[in-house]
Structure 1
Amino acid sequence: MDKLLLALIAGLLYPFSFSPWDWWPLVLLSIGLFWWSLNGATARQGALRGLLFGLGSFGVGISWLHVSMHQYGSTPMWLAVPMTGLFATVMALFPMALGWLTVQLGRRALVFVGGWLLLDWLRSWLLTGFPWLYPGYAMIDTPLAELAPWGGVWLVSLITVASAVWLTELAKRRARREPALLLLAVAGWVLALVPTSFTEQYGDPIPVALAQGNVPQDVRWQLTQQAATRQIYADLTAQVSPGRLLIWPEAAITEFYQDAGTFLRQQGNIMADQQGALISGIPWREWGSDGAVYYNSVTVLGGGEGLYHKQKLVPFGEYVPLQSQIRGLIPFFDLPASSFSRGRPDQANLSALGLTVSPFICYEILYPSLVAQRSHNSDVLLTISNDAWFGTSAGPHQHFQMTRMRSLETGRWLLRATNNGISATIRPDGTVAERLPQFQRALLETEVRTVRGTTPFMHSGPSPVLLLAMAMLAFGRRRRPMGSTSD
């Protein structure tokens, strides 16, 4: 089979290992095929095959981006699709670099595995980062996910790629040439299968409630919708049983706190009078010497205290890079709420009903190190979001899948409240306790538990795994290149 076609097919298969399809064996198959396609390649050919793999994987895997541009950003389809394709092409440069690097350093399996991990990590922060479609996320419902408390999604990804490459070498009857790779893969699976527990649940169950307003995205920011939105969440609050911690989603009320404060404090008092508490996402406005500053925020409105401003902002969604040059070019660059500022990194967690709650707004929950750093003294994790921007596409399901990994990495319960789904509670082992169906206005009343203790990943972050990946590159580079053969 032509190696270019093989690389493209591998990339096209890759996204189907993630939610909503969850065909996790495909992550092993697609990575293995990509590795296979590099056999006999020159460095230039390796780069081209990596580019094709990336175009296939990101072209399918993040195709849902065009929904927000076209359906809610007033960008015509003829422009939204090429813009999404351009972004996928930029992301494809990372596997392109992997293909080139692997061949340039002798097509060693250790180079491929270590390089994959390092390039994924680079993609997580370069130009604000796009931490999407890491191999480890596809393994969330397999035994390998038990590595997450040790090294986060990074370690799960490393062992996933190592396993895929070794199985491919086994199929080609060349596995004996990669003893170090076999040792790594086996050690990873053995560690994953050994029962370990770094945190423990204690105390009585905590009654919580998640409000899912299901306000249509195409009208929720309109001034004429504000009164109706207030009524939706007031009605949901009125249904909550006494003594619960109620969560409203990201920007539940599409008004600044400073404009809707009376209504919000009233709703908070209703919950406090019932020995409960209310936490809500809300846009926030402050005035400084240079004028108004806006934040995407979450605050405790009753039964506690605290205010948190989002740190990790979505490019073009919450802020516009080079806005003085590109604002006004197309409607997508002028979306509502696209002028937010970043919150400070030293903000305190929230306090509600005597609990310490670590808050994360939408995109932030995708950053493993950020979540690990802010979770040390927390009893429970909280993320609020609005995935209505992406309609019925795979985007919200991928987002939810990645959210579950944060529970595993920190060994904590996680509350997730969204505008139209997926709202859920997630156990410390990453499994879903209860969830609401998408695209329905509903209230979920359930219970979670407080947790004490910390995981190794919370202390070390990705550093040990990154050092291991760099050592693999160095070890693979020092070895005499393996002779290439054609298949």
Structure 2
Amino acid sequence: MIRRFTSLNDWFMTLAGWQRYGVAFVLGFLTAASMAPYYVLPFLVTGFSGLVWLMDNAVRHQRPGKVAFWTGCWFAFGYFCLSLYWMAFSFIVHAEGPGHLIMLSVLGFGGVFGLAAFISVFYGLTLLVAKRFWQAGWARVLVLAIAWSLAEYARGHLFTGLPWNLTGQAFAGLAVLSQPVAWIGTYGLGFIILIASALPAACVPADREAMPSKISPMPLAAAAGMVLVICIAGAIRLAGANVSMADNIRVQIVQPNILQRDKINYDLWVDNFWANLNLSGGVEAQAPEDGQLYVIWPENAAYSYFQRDPSALDVLQDRLPANAVLMAGGTRYDAVGPDLYDYFNSLLILSRSPLPGEETPAIDQMESETPWSVRRAYDKHHLAPFGEYVPLAGLLQATGVGNIVPIGQPFTPGAGPETIDLGLARMSPVICYETIFPGRLYPRGDRPDFLVTITNDAWYGDSNGPRQHFDISRLRAIESGLPMARSANTGISAMIDPYGRIVKKLPLYERGVINSQLPGAIPPTIYHYTSDFVYFILLAITALWVITSYNVGVRSQPSA
């Protein structure tokens, strides 16, 4: 095996020019295939070990900084081309004919590739810095892991953040592998995965001719040991994972499976509203008389009907029992002037009786004879750029892009995360894009009993996007130690327990409902208390070790 490693390493050292960058792109592309729906986890080793050897190649070059920068950029560009391609589908939904379809396809995929190129710069810059501390032995693996992880953290926070397909998300498909996020978070798990994935490259030192005695299978064994430790830790945690179910609470998750073209068709809005309502209630969803039924509709299922049409409230009377609480995605608006409104992407909470602590209903119900009322409204606070607001909208309109992509009235962000008392349980709402941000699900010091996530992934068709979004939800449940009820318009809807395990699920593009008891929360996780602090401690200790070894002369960088 070591002979094969050395032969492959020799080939990497011969790469030059665009051949080098082409290999970097392919390796990045393959690394992204470790995520849903492919889960080809060995590609993590192929990608990051290959990137170590590409950096070994770069530091031999006469202009190592330039080569390291572009190597990082091309690797990351390949990674994000596969990770984010599905975003382009949201443009295509607006197509009204073949010519328009072509124009929007070019614009959509051009925008996605442009975004991928922009994000890739973060990784190019961190590898440019990493080149300065590159060493011949095991330490260069740690240097790469630190560089990639810092770039990951930066793109998750700068410019509103896009922490999509973080390295730690590769393990989300298997509950036993993803349990460490309860202690160190997704960034921390990703850092460990990075080290384990890149370690096999250290079987061959960067300067093999000068250090022939350093060729060893030990880094490969160390990588396998790290993965084994993750498996054992996860298995131990799940071995004692007995989750109780609330006897007095039933949850009904509605998945109407409305295609996006129909969902945005104004003429079909009434039909779409009834599609959700007709799936709600029923014998299987009955809760005890002294209990509650929580019915959850997906994002923007109710539009603004509950605010502007009292008959929308009246029809709930016949469909839902008296002890039901309806949580429906909808649009809410506030008048801020004559014919001037602020619009909010909201989760509307409706019931027949006032909620604990309620003083006045959240929305003026006009004239309705039913006791049903919108008691609370949570407004999405982290809006999706280009989906719910458009950065530089004036510039886009001036350049003509606004004539192609409907910009319209942007949404107004809400105040922030909330915890809402429903009577028998307290919940925190999370709307679509907000799910992708670790540690931002509920207010600090106000932990709920469960999470409610509503989303509309129909924008992205039968692609990687909805499946990866679902995996992200599972990680949020593990991080918080809270069960999550997830309602998605076209799927994937599910009841997820506080260990990230699927209690019940509806797959993509299937109309139906999930009827389930509510899993109980477990005690707060370490991540609940520390957030990303443990991750930064791991990062700092590793960086200190690398810097120390560099300063005492361990580095052995090949000459040009």
Shared fold, TM over 0.5? yes
Q: How does 1:279-294 map to 2 (within 5 A)?
A: 279-288=327-336, 291-294=340-343
Provide the secondary structure at the position in 2 that maps to 1:40.
helix
Helix, strand or coil at the partner of 2:508: coil
Moved more, 322-331 or 214-223: 322-331
Task: Give the deviation of 1:170 after TM superposition.
Answer: 3.1
143-152 vs 196-205, which deviates more?
Answer: 196-205
Matches within 5 A, 1:303-452: 304=355, 305-327=375-397, 329-331=401-403, 333-335=405-407, 339-345=410-416, 348-371=418-441, 373=443, 376-452=446-522
- For 1:451, give the aligned amino acid: A
SS in 2 for 1:368: coil
2-structure distance, mates of 1:421, 1:193? 27
* Distance across 1 between alignment mates of 2:51 and 2:314: 55
CA drift of 1:467 comes to 3.6
Relative distance call for 1:182 and 1:207 in structure 2 (3 A) is same
- In the alignment, what sits opposite 2:114? 86
* Matches of 2:436 and 2:45, distance apart in 1: 22
For residues 501 and 241 of structure 2, the distance between their equivalents in structure 1, rounded to whole angstroms, comes to 16
Alpha-carbon distance between aligned partners in 2 of 1:7 and 1:434, rounded to the nearest angstrom: 40
1:131 aligns with 2:163: yes
Deviations 1:157-194 (CA, angstroms, capped at 9, x unpaired): 01100111223213665579989x98995896388357
5+ unaligned residues in a row in structure 1: which ranges? none
Counterpart contact for 1:10–1:53, Cα < 8 Å: yes
**Counterpart among 236, 243, 249 of residue 195 in structure 1:** 236
Distance 1:378 1:112, change over 3 A: same
- Counterpart of 1:484 in structure 2 is 557
3-state SS, counterpart of residue 439 of structure 2: helix
Summarize the Cα distance change of 1:99–1:368 in structure 2 as closer, same or farther, 3 Å threshold: same
Whether the 8 Å CA contact 1:257–1:285 is kept in 2: the answer is no
1:146 counterpart = 2:216? no
The more displaced of 405-414 and 250-259 is: 250-259
Contact 1:278–1:302, Cα closer than 8 Å, also in 2: yes
8 A contact 2:183–2:527 mirrored in 1: yes
* 1:217 equivalent in alignment to 2:244: no
Aligned-residue offset at 1:138? 0.5
Specify the alignment match of 1:18 in structure 2. Answer: 35
For 1:454, the equivalent position in structure 2 comes to 524
Aligned length: 482
Aligned to 2:349: 300
Cα distance, 1:254 vs. partner?
Answer: 2.7
Once the two structures are superposed, residues 376-409 of structure 1 have per-residue CA deviations (whole angstroms, 9 ceiling, x without a partner) of 5211111000000001111111111111111111
Cα offset, 1:457, TM superposition: 0.3
**Contact preservation (8 Å) 2:419, 2:428:** yes
What do residues 43-91 of structure 1 show as CA deviations (whole Å, max 9, x unaligned)? Answer: 2111111111011111122111111112336652233222221111111
1:34 Cα deviation (Å)?
A: 1.3
Structure-2-length-normalised TM-score: 0.79
Does the CA-based 8 Å contact 1:215-1:229 persist in structure 2?
Answer: yes
Deviation of 1:37 (Å): 1.1
Give the 3 Å change call, closer, same or farther, for CA 440–195 of structure 1 in structure 2: closer
Q: Secondary structure at the match of 2:57?
A: coil
- Which residue of the partner structure matches residue 365 of structure 2? none
Pair member with larger Rg: 2
| Greater RCO structure (CA 8 Å; 6+ sep) | 1
Question: What amino acid is aligned across from residue 264 of structure 2 in structure 1?
Answer: W
Match of residue 67 from structure 1: 89
Structure 2 CA distance for aligned equivalents of residues 342 and 138 of structure 1: 31
Is the 2:196–2:224 Cα contact (8 Å) retained in structure 1? no
Aligned to 1:105: 133
Aligned residue for 2:325?
277
1:258 corresponding residue in structure 2: 307
